[in-house]
Amino acid sequence: MHIHILGICGTFMGGLAALAKEAGFTVSGADLSVYPPMSDQLCDLGISLHEGYDEGSLNPLPDHIVIGNALSRGKAVIETILNRQLPYSSGPEWLYHNILQKRKVIAISGTHGKTTTSSMVAWILDAAGLQPGFLIGGVPENFGVSARLGQGPYFVIEADEYDSAFFDKRSKFIHYHPQVLIINNLEYDHADIFPDLASIQRQFHHVLRTVPSEGRVIVPADDANVDQVLAQGVCTPIVRFGEKGVEFTAQILKDDGSEFEVYYQGQLQGRVSWPLVGQHNVRNALAAIAAAHAVGVPISTALKALAEFKNVKRRLEKKGQVRGISVYDDFAHHPTAIATTLQGLRARIQNTRLMAVLELGSYTMKTGVHKNSLPLSWNEADQILILRPDPDWGVDDLAKYSKKPVSVFDTVDSIIAYLKTHALANDQIVMMSNKGFSGICERLLEALDHE
């Protein structure tokens, strides 16, 4: 069977394409911009790509078309599909009927930590010999790929609350029918499709209602927004992590979160020493341990696996060091993500100078929805550099409310020129964006090397 994927170069749809190919489907795809590294990965899989959303994308005519949520009415290919009554579905719908329906699904949802926690769960299950499948919105360094079919009964999926398609405005995770659901945390985000927090909570309650009574729902002990979702009704046993007095807790032994003890029902289970930083990652680990425990993996096995966990690319990933200047790449998409990442790194580097460089990439960030909370998010940095968003909603005003010095730049080139001149040995520079940031990490390292 030949499926054709529109929007194939996105992280989710690219992973779906890899799964479909591994499952034996003939796969082709189209996207508005076809460029490396995703284009190379797909071509290596033998997947033919078409650039653009014109009618030529459908030649040869596929048996089924999977439509990504980036496409809308008015695109030539969409109008052709509808006018000719060609068979189509959203990516999440196709994924459920062709992959997930046959598996026991562990879904990881929440505003923050989905990618990292999903990667942890997949790695723990793999270490337990369960050979899980997975689809993750990033590349776990332990696996080197974002998706695989797997051989065992379990499938781990990063469960995004973004909408499914132009014809299906339900959140993607509604389609996944998980047996185990993690809700890591919940804050307002995705202002392009959700008018307020309540509308997001409604979608989370929808997915909560799909978890069977013999499954598990894993939630933090101290998140009022999640508690409000649970208060709407839940028919599944709840497991909590975080604060003392709940099932899974941790005692942090080093301030940077690189070493901690894990307790289950108040009893010490063991200790983890790992390369990750930040108390938020300790909480991610507790959620992952709880999910693995829910499907029968011993806690001792999970702790041993986490000690060998290598994190995910673009999650405070150290890209290089030149002349003693360290450069990191971090997928920051929200003020809370900025704050927790900087707090974790600050605890590790202590009094070393820390510079945060921001591209306000998500719709919510670049339109200024979070402008009031941004100045508080970077308090652990010594200096903040921001790429001016387009359109500019008054980003210069953030300097008035910041306790730390803020500079706004019009181009990536000007940021690199500034850092090349002002960065000193031992400086820690973190590039924070959920977009490509014009390859700033590599370009800065090259510029520093030529200095």
190 with 246, same domain: the answer is yes
Distance, C-alpha 175 to centroid of its chain: 18
**Residue tagged 């509308």 (tokens):** 199
Task: Please report the pLDDT score of residue 340 as a whole number.
Answer: 80
Task: Please report the pLDDT score of residue 298 as a whole number.
Answer: 97
158 with 26, same domain: the answer is no
Is 188 inside a domain boundary? Answer: yes
254 with 286, same domain: the answer is yes
Judge residue 322's burial from the number of C-beta atoms within 10 Å of its C-beta, 0-12 exposed, 13-18 middle, 19 or more buried.
Answer: middle
167 with 259, same domain: the answer is yes
Is 94 inside a domain boundary? Answer: no
141 with 80, same domain: the answer is no
Is 312 inside a domain boundary? Answer: no
Query: CATH number, domain at 58?
Result: 3.40.50.720
Query: CATH number, domain at 442?
Result: 3.90.190.20
The DSSP symbol for 326 reads E
In contact, 289 and 302? CB cutoff 8 Å: yes
Positions of the chain with pLDDT lower than 50, given as ranges: none
264 with 355, same domain: the answer is no
Task: Please report the pLDDT score of residue 171 as a whole number.
Answer: 92
Choose one of 89, 117, 151: the last residue of a domain.
89
84 with 121, same domain: the answer is no
* Tokens encoding 432: 């924070």
Query: CATH number, domain at 284?
Result: 3.40.1190.10
Is 355 inside a domain boundary? Answer: yes
- Residue 11 CA to residue 408 CA, distance in Å, equals 30
Task: Please report the pLDDT score of residue 36 as a whole number.
Answer: 62
Q: Which spans in 244-350 are helix H?
A: 279-294, 299-307, 335-349
DSSP H/E element including 150: none
Number of domains, the chain: 3
440 with 294, same domain: the answer is no
Choose one of 43, 69, 89: the last residue of a domain.
89
123 with 243, same domain: the answer is yes
In contact, 6 and 73? CB cutoff 8 Å: no
Task: Please report the pLDDT score of residue 239 as a whole number.
Answer: 97
- Residue 175 CA to residue 66 CA, distance in Å, equals 14
103 with 240, same domain: the answer is yes
Task: Please report the pLDDT score of residue 58 as a whole number.
Answer: 93
155 with 209, same domain: the answer is yes
Task: Please report the pLDDT score of residue 451 as a whole number.
Answer: 65
Choose one of 71, 89, 107: the last residue of a domain.
89
Domain span at residue 368 reads 317-450
428 with 388, same domain: the answer is yes
